[in-house]
Amino acid sequence: MGRGNSLRRPALESRALSSALGWCMPSARGPKCHCPQQDADHRYWKGRHPTHRPPETDAMQDQQLVQIIAGIGVGLALAATAAWSARRRWQRSDERWQAWFPEAPDVPENPDLVRELAVGAVLGVNNAFPVNTLDPHKSRAEMRAWLAGSWNTRSAAQAREAVQSLLMEGHSATFDLLIEAAADGDPDASREHLEQVFVDDLEHNPELAEFIAHHPEAIARLEALGYLVTQADVERGTRAYDLGRAVVVSRVAFGAGYFNRAEAMTMIRMAAFVSQRTFKSWREFATSYLLGRALWGGVDDPDFEGMVRIVEELLRNPRSPWLRCGWFR
């Protein structure tokens, strides 16, 4: 055997091994394969060659990679959109809550004052008064026009008389007599019963006839709304309606220049004190207020439904002064 044979043996052995395993080995002349399986059925392209893949395979893998990257991008975009939408919904909710209960800017936090002013929150919110300051933030002319139109009040003396009347008895004295008298009669004939009980008063008090007419519908409506659940809810009366209005009239009189700050706060603290002694929660206060409002204007009055909505917001809205400060301790 010659030297040339010994040098060529590894190549021959490699080709023999490749043939036995079904692999294609490139020749020294170039990349062309000397594979016996490279025939018409193209079994060579079925992945048997360890280093050669058909162009279609590379294209398919590239396409799959593009699809994966695109899917990840879409997923990230959807997640970002969902997060933005959730944040925007939260912002809109917070803006809506703040719109219900506006606050004056640059006012030191004073929970006690907010709680005292909250006795008048139903009517105050209805007039868009700030919940955190005595000043209603309206012009003096506007506040004087409000007192003149709603309360026939055009001076400091008249404003003082109006607030003192609300603190002493207001409409609740009459309303509570109606409620007490109705409890002694037939619930299905409360109007007739009340007209008989107050027959002498009806002659010189034309408003009384309206209050009597409103009574059956007021009780039924507040029962349906879930405020009058027990007889105690009815017997608690309508005192809150007068106390709430006393706070608002005091604030308006301050804004109108009829009260100074000290006098306005004295009136408001008296209303808060009586509220604390009469009720045990804002829920009880709200029930009493709505009952008084329903007896005064009737449940068919569009403004009554507005008051109901305000009370619902005060009882459940996180920005509500009732929830932020809690009941009196």
Q: What is the pLDDT of residues 191-202, one digit of tens each?
A: 787 888 887 788
Higher local confidence (pLDDT), 312 or 77: 312
Number of domains in the chain: 2
Sorting pLDDT into bands at 50, 70 and 90, what band is 280? very high
Residue 13 pLDDT more than 50? no
Residue 193: Cβ within 10 Å count: 18
**Residue 83, domain member (yes or no):** no
Asked if residue 245 lies in contact with residue 120, where contact means CB atoms within 8 angstroms, the answer is yes
State how far the Cα of 118 lies from the Cα of 134, in Å rounded to an integer: 11
How do residues 253-272 score in pLDDT, each as one tens digit? 999 999 999 999 999 999 99
Predicted local distance difference test score (pLDDT) of residue 172:
95
Count of Cβ atoms closer than 10 Å to residue 27 Cβ: 12
Do 25 and 141 reside in the same domain of the chain? no
Q: Which of 86-100, 148-162, 274-288 has the lowest mean pLDDT?
A: 86-100
Based on the domain organization, do 160 and 279 belong to the same domain? yes
Mean of all residue pLDDT scores within the chain: 82
| Residue 164 shares a structural domain with residue 23 | no
The whole-number pLDDT of residue 197 equals 80
Q: Which two tokens stand for residue 162?
A: 């109006």
pLDDT score, position 85: 57
Domain shared by 207 and 286, yes or no? yes
Q: In the prediction, which pLDDT does 136 show?
A: 95
Query: Is 246 a member of any domain?
Result: yes
How confident is the model over 30-34, as a mean pLDDT? 48
Backbone torsion region of residue 118, taken as left when φ is above 0, otherwise alpha when ψ lies between -120 and 50, otherwise beta:
alpha
Q: How confident is the model at residue 97 (pLDDT cuts 50, 70, 90)?
A: low
Asked if 22 contacts 16 with a C-beta cutoff of 8 angstroms, the reply is: no
Residues 182 and 311 reside in one and the same domain: yes
What was the pLDDT predicted at 198? 84
302 and 195, same structural domain? yes
Pairwise CA distance, residues 265 & 254, whole Å: 9
Structure tokens at 117: 């002013």
The answer to whether 166 and 243 have CB atoms below 8 angstroms apart is yes
Indicate whether 211 and 303 sit together in one domain: yes
Whether residues 311 and 174 fall in one domain: yes
The verdict on 150 and 30 lying in the same domain is no
For residue 92, is it within any domain? no
176 and 33 within one domain: no
Is 243 a domain residue? yes
Q: Which residues contact 255 (CB under 8 A, 6 or more apart)?
A: 135, 136, 137, 138, 140, 143
> Is it the case that residue 48 has pLDDT exceeding 50?
no
Rounded to an integer, what distance in angstroms lies between the CA atom of residue 283 and that of residue 326?
11
Q: Is residue 248 part of a domain?
A: yes
pLDDT-based confidence at residue 203 (cuts at 50, 70, 90): confident
Share above pLDDT 90 across residues of the chain, in percent, rounded to a whole number: 58
**Do both 114 and 17 map to the same domain?**
no
**Does 139 score more than 80 pLDDT?**
yes
Which comes out higher in pLDDT, residue 189 or 162? 162
pLDDT, tens only, 213-251: 999 999 999 999 999 999 999 999 999 999 999 999 999
For tokens 């162009």, the residue is 55
Q: What is the pLDDT of residue 142?
A: 97
Same domain, 38 and 116: no
Q: What is the mean pLDDT of residues 62-82?
A: 75
**pLDDT number for residue 37:** 47
Q: Count CA atoms closer than 13 A to 31's CA, side-chain side.
A: 3
Residue 51 lies in a domain: no
Q: Determine the structural domain holding residue 32 and report its residue range.
A: 3-46
pTM for the model stands at 0.71
| Number of helices (H), then strands (E), in the chain | 16, 2
156 belongs to a structural domain: yes
Mean pLDDT of 82-108: 67
- At 86, the pLDDT band (50, 70, 90 cuts) reads low
Residue 78 domain flag: no
Integer Cα distance of 24 and 41 in angstroms: 16
